[in-house]
A and B are shown apart, each in its own frame.
Chain A
Amino acid sequence: MPSWEGSSVNETLDFALRRGLKLGATQAEVFAIDDVGTNIVIEKKQVKLGQVRRDRGMGIRVLVKKDGGASTGFSYVTDFSRSTVMEAVEKAVTTAKVKRADKDLKSFQEKARTRKAANIFDKRIPKTDPSGLIDIGRSMLEEACKDSRVSTVSGSVYAGFGETSVANSLGVSGSYRSTGFGGYMYVVAESGGSVGVGSEAHSSSHYESAKLVVAAGYAAETAVKQLNPKPLESGIYDVVVDQDGLADLLMNTLVQQIRADLVQRNQSPLAGKIGSEMASENVTLMDDPSVPRALGSKPFDSEGCPTNPRPIVEKGVLRTFLHNSYTANKEGVENTGNSMRYIMFGTRSGYALEPSIGPHNLVLKPGKGRREDLIREVKNGILVRGFIGAHTSNVQSGDFSLALDCIFRIENGELTFPVKQAMIGGNMPNILRQIRLAAANSKQVTMGPGMTLISPTILIEKLTVAA
């Protein structure tokens, strides 16, 4: 078990804070993560490798007030020995002293009451060992290989648990435990020279092994259904989009556009649009850090600000941007508690990063009926499961041009055939005005580290599709 069994994290945290203040910092903050993860890797229809990973580290930030404002400095350590922590704090303080004063930098997060955390800890997960995951992986493989046309299967299964702690010299001090569980399956089917690909992932804070097996079967079913695709004629189609595609698209467009840091730097087309209508009235989008079993749920953000559910878009009207302590202080508004430590590309442990801004669980309000009912509404359209190249979207203008992945033709409410290749172009947020319907099939998909989208399948009307 990680730190909470009385190991050195809390003491180290305390030591770093005191040391920072002693060296001349006005304020000091530490953010610590202690994670244990186990995963298995499936390649070529067999379990290839088991891995365990213990990742413990601490990011130390200091704030130095000076003429004309203040500056911050940052260091991180995975070695908690006194000498290493001392050197790290010194470097952070020196950096803060050398940097030019930022007049908008006021303070780290003030102490505030946090609510009780949602249920995001499953006590079965710390007891899970590699052989348990292998059993799940084998059930997934069995499910995925039922059809003789399935030629290649790869995937993984993951279980992890950990503790996140934040403390600062203004009295913020807290920690919470969480667990994570999930996996994916990638299936290739071959028949008569044609190749079909399907993939499906499932993730939750809780041990949901049966859902992983269902996901594996769904990936295989999709791969087989993608065999023998036909070309599509260019034209205007109604487009039904599944959750994975929507998450990828939103993460690379809207999520960045509602970040207050980018809004303040005038890098978002939504700047100045609070209170105005920006989507169809069917769109209500919440950021909800209190959803049980969701991987983005947390009682406070990475600076220790309490998190709360809040509407981002309400019946089409933009309600708020996402703030951390810096952007909220700069504008003199309430901190929304959206400080997150992540980078868009690459993997880096959160403790090695300074705070950025992101959503916890973006929840798109579901509509009525099943996914099939939504498809039945469509006379002339396509079903799309994913997008390729969403990261190339231009955040500042919102323009995107994307290749579609895993496409099916919809004619008179029926899925008729798989489609070869197609592209769409569009603009976010403008495309949100064309959302007409949502089904009731809400599903959680991972959008980034500690961020999810909980959304139904949606129907976007009249998109220009190029074949």
Chain B
Amino acid sequence: MRIAERAVALCEELGAGYADARVERTYSTDIRLMKDTFDQVPSGAEQGLGIRVLYKGAWGFGSSTSLEPRDVSQTIRGAFKAAKATALHTQVKAHLAEVSPVKDVVTATVKEPMRSVPIDRKMKLALETSEEATKVDKRIASVTVTYSDSSGEAYLATSEGTRLVGRPSRGSIVIVAVAREGAKVGTIRERNGMQAGFELFEKIDPLSLARRAAERAVKLLEAVPAPSGRFTVIADQKLAGVFAHEAVGHASEADHVITGESVLKDKIGQRVGSDLVTMYDDSTYPQGWGTSLYDSEGVPTKKRLIIDKGFLRGYILNRETAAELNMAPNGGARAQSFAYRPVVRMSNTYLTVGAQSFDELLEAVDHGVYLKGSRGGQVDTAKGTFQFSAEEGYLIEKGQLAKPLSDVSLSGMTLETLMNIDGVADDFQMTIGLCGKAGQVATTGTGSPHIRIRNAVVGGK
């Protein structure tokens, strides 16, 4: 904290209107295993400082992985010079919405600290996970397991007096299982993670994730090409969560709203979805992958109501966009690490639980498609269009799941799709993800129950 406090003090001495400094130290372990062979196993110990300076409405930013006093001072002076030089030429001045300074210490709930666990135990966990997937079926051709953990310390000091100490800890496991039979190939990814100590791996149970990935991959070998056209679709928790994040969540980020790259611009208070649609971006979700009590600007975070029973109620805001839109800041600024500027980001984005069972959703479908999981896709938040490839699909015939489908995708207009949601199940589930924006990666949670969408566009190959 001393380095962060001194950095902010130096900025003020130089004449900055506002400054914040983040100093972090992060220990990480990544283990990548391909079948039974360890591919790459890097361990990292990173430290550094990020300094943000506001001078006459212009930003300067500096970062340094060296914390030696001379290097720190040079970085701060560089950031200040950058802000000062920019201020001479920028016409649009940045302002920050007012917040009360906070002082707090936030420590992740940890039973077994990540750093106290020897690396060979972590490698053994990855190996056992891989073996569990491999032995499910002879047709499992390859399994890739990626184990990751990180923990450390983070300090934030602002010129307004905020002082935050964080002791984060998180871990995750990703399993990709590939089944092969003749020319047919089925690929499935399962992953889970939590913010906790090494004990989290008991809770998320990598072995059952591994089995599920392998079983689903084998099942894909029976799949037939998907039909194309408009269908009633049931999306599983993962695909619906990805839809909530990619199509709706990004459009609710205030920076996109301001630049006009959002289909939700100027729609606060208006109906954007059916009565059944309620969506939050929730930084407070217990131990969630995107959870934090304070954001990267030191603003207390919230459970942000984005859509309430179909009506748009809010955006995700940092201090600058809150000031520009004249809204109350809600702690939506996140930075990948000290080396990056905080930008408006999602945390845990989810559609809320409904009242029907999955079977009830299914029963009402005479002819439709059930889509599970996501292989990614494309979204245009400005136009409000999306296209996602599902991992698996099934035909639905007379309220029953029929044959499995391969290479199936879901596409459409975001707002039309939200209006066409006519069923929401009671089986809410969260999953973890990584979100890329502005050259930075953020850990995000996405969640949803099963949802049913009328008249959705399904694409086959």
Given contacts A52-B79, A54-B75, A55-B65, contact A87 B90 (CB under 8 A): no
Interface residues of A in 81-100 (CB under 8 A from B): 84, 87-88, 91-92, 94-95, 97-100
B105 at interface (Cβ–Cβ under 8 A)?
Answer: no
What's the nearest-Cβ distance from chain B to residue A51, in Å? Answer: 5
Q: Indicate whether A131 reaches chain B with its CB closer than 8 angstroms.
A: yes
Q: A52-B79, A130-B81 are in contact. Are A100 and B60 (CB under 8 A)?
A: no
Whether the Cβ atoms of A50 and B60 lie closer than 8 Å is: yes
A81 to chain B minimum Cβ distance, whole angstroms, is 9
- Asked if A134 and B86 sit within 8 Å, CB to CB, the answer is yes
Q: Is A75 an interface position by the 8 A CB rule?
A: yes
- A266 CB to closest chain B CB, in angstroms? 14
B75-A52 in contact (CB<8A): yes
Interface status of A47 (Cβ within 8 A of chain B) = yes
Given contacts A78-B47, A95-B119, contact A53 B40 (CB under 8 A): no
- Tell me which of B40, B41, B89, B436 contacts A46 (CB under 8 A): B89
Q: Which residues of B contact A48 (CB under 8 A)?
A: 59, 86, 90
Query: Chain A: which residue is nearest B439 at the CB level?
Result: A347
A75 and B43: CB pair below 8 A?
yes
Q: Are B60 and A130 in contact (CB under 8 A)?
A: yes
A74-B38 Cα distance, complex, nearest whole Å: 12
Q: In this assembly, does A262 line the interface, its C-beta being within 8 Å of a C-beta of chain B?
A: no
How far in angstroms is the closest Cβ of chain A from B47? 4
A192 at interface by CB-CB < 8 Å? no
Q: CB within 8 Å of A: which of B42-71?
A: 42-48, 58-68, 71
Q: Is the CB of B66 within 8 A of A95?
A: no
Provide the residues of chain A in CB contact with B123, threshold 8 Å: 95, 98-99
Chain B interface bracket (under 10, 10 to 19, 20 to 34, 35 or more): 35 or more
Q: Does B120 lie at the interface of the complex (its beta carbon under 8 Å from any beta carbon of A)?
A: yes
Query: In this assembly, does B456 line the interface, its C-beta being within 8 Å of a C-beta of chain A?
Result: no
Q: Are A49 and B82 in contact (CB under 8 A)?
A: yes
Report A235-267 CB contacts with B as 1/0, cut-off 8 Å. 000000000000000000000000000000000
Once the chains are docked, how many angstroms separate the CA of A29 from the CA of B181? 43
Q: Once bound together, how far apart are the Cα atoms of A52 and B80, in whole Å?
A: 10
- Across the interface, B46 reaches (CB within 8 A) one of A40, A57, A74, namely A57
On whether the beta carbons of A79 and B119 are closer than 8 Å, the reply is no
Which residues of chain B have C-beta atoms less than 8 A from A353's C-beta?
A: 42
Q: Give the Cβ gap from A438 to chain B, nearest Cβ, in Å.
A: 34
From known contacts A88-B45, A352-B42, infer whether A44 and B83 are also in contact, taking CB-CB under 8 Å. no
B99 at the interface (CB under 8 A from A): no
Q: In the assembled complex, which residues on chain A have CB atoms less than 8 Å from the CB atom of B79?
A: 50-52
- Of B42, B90, B120, the residue contacting A47 (CB under 8 A) is B90
Q: Which residues from chain B contact A47 at a C-beta distance below 8 Å?
A: 86, 89-90
Residue among B43, B62, B90, B92 making CB contact with A53, cutoff 8 Å = B62
Are B86 and A92 touching (Cβ within 8 A)? no
Map CB proximity to B onto A29-59 as digits: 1 under 8 Å, 0 otherwise: 0000000001010001011111111111100
Q: Is the CB of A98 within 8 A of B82?
A: no
A354 engages B40 (CB within 8 Å) = yes
A46-B91, A95-B119 in contact; A57/B65 too (CB < 8 A)? yes
Specify which chain A residues have a CB less than 8 angstroms from the CB of B44 in the assembled complex.
Answer: 75-77, 352
A346 proximal to B (CB < 8 A): yes
B129 to chain A, nearest CB (A): 15
- Cβ A130 vs Cβ B82 within 8 A: yes
Chain A residues with CB below 8 A from B36, complex form: 100
- Asked if B74 and A50 make an inter-chain contact with CB atoms under 8 angstroms apart, the answer reads no
Chain B residues with CB below 8 A from A46, complex form: 89-92
Does A211 lie at the interface of the complex (its beta carbon under 8 Å from any beta carbon of B)?
A: no
A51 touches B60 (CB 8 A): yes
Contact residues in A for B40 (Cβ distance below 8 Å): 74, 354
Please, which residues of chain A bring their CB within 8 A of the CB of B45?
A: 75-79, 84, 87-88
User: Looking at the complex, which one of A44, A56, A87 makes contact with B66 (CB distance below 8 Å)?
Assistant: A56
* Contact residues in A for B46 (Cβ distance below 8 Å): 57, 76-79, 352
Verify A50–B81 contact, CB threshold 8 A.
yes
- Cβ contacts under 8 Å, A91 to chain B: 29, 43, 119
Interface size class of A (residues with CB under 8 A): 35 or more
Q: Mark A130-151, 1 if CB is under 8 A from B, else 0.
A: 1100100010000000000000
Residues on the A chain within 8 Å of B68, using CB: 7
Q: Is B42 within 8 A of A75, CB to CB?
A: yes
A372 within 8 A of B: no
Of B43, B60, B83, which is within 8 A of A92 by CB?
Answer: B43
A98 to B120, CA, bound (A): 6
Interface flag for A73 (CB, 8 Å): yes
CB B183 to nearest CB in A, in angstroms, measures 13
Is A110 an interface position by the 8 A CB rule? Answer: no
* Chain B residues positioned under 8 Å from A57 (CB to CB): 46, 65
**A54 adjacent to B65 (CB under 8 Å):** yes
A331 at interface by CB-CB < 8 Å = no
Q: Which residue of A lies closest to B83 (CB)?
A: A50
| Contact call B59/A49, Cβ cutoff below 8 A | yes
Q: Are B38 and A99 in contact (CB under 8 A)?
A: yes
Are A53 and B85 in touch, CB under 8 angstroms?
no
Given contacts A46-B92, A49-B61, A74 and B41 within 8 Å (CB-CB): yes
Q: By CB atoms of chain A within 10 A, which of B48, B81, B82, B339 has the most?
A: B82
For residue B37, which residues in chain A have a CB less than 8 angstroms away from its CB? Answer: 100
Query: Does A373 belong to the interface (CB within 8 Å)?
Result: no
Asked if B78 is an interface residue, CB under 8 A from chain A, the answer is yes
Q: A76-B42, A76-B44 are in contact. Are A54 and B63 (CB under 8 A)?
A: yes
Query: Is residue A129 contacting chain B, with contact meaning CB distance below 8 A?
Result: yes
Q: Is the C-beta of B25 less than 8 angstroms from some C-beta in chain A?
A: yes
A152 to chain B, nearest CB (A): 10
Q: Give the complex CA separation of A402 and B379 in angstroms.
A: 18
Q: Do B82 and A52 touch (CB < 8 A)?
A: yes
Beta-carbon contacts of B12-40 to A below 8 Å, as 1s and 0s? Answer: 00000000000001000100000011101
Per-residue contact bits, chain B 72-114, to A (CB 8 Å; 1 contact, 0 not): 0011001101110110111110000000000000000000000
Q: How far is the CA of A134 from the CA of B82 in the complex (A)?
A: 9
Contacts of A77 in B (CB 8 A): 44-46
> Chain A residues near B75 (CB, 8 Å)?
52, 54
Within 8 A of A (CB), among B275-303: none
Contact indicator B48/A78 (Cβ below 8 Å): yes
Q: Are A40 and B41 in contact (CB under 8 A)?
A: no
CB-nearest residue of chain A to B38: A99
Please name the residue on chain B nearest to A87 by beta carbon: B45
Q: Is the CB of B85 within 8 A of A50?
A: yes
The CA of A467 and the CA of B82, in the complex, are separated in Å by 46
| 5 A-B pairs whose Cβ atoms sit less than 8 Å apart in the complex | A51-B61, A51-B79, A51-B82, A75-B43, A130-B60
| Interface pairs A-B: 10 shortest CB-CB | A50-B82, A52-B78, A78-B65, A131-B85, A54-B64, A130-B82, A91-B43, A79-B47, A52-B62, A75-B43
Known interface pairs A38-B82, A100-B38; 14 further A-B residue pairs with C-beta atoms within 8 A, sorted by A's residue number: A40-B82, A47-B89, A49-B82, A50-B82, A52-B60, A52-B78, A53-B64, A53-B339, A54-B66, A74-B41, A76-B45, A79-B67, A95-B123, A100-B37
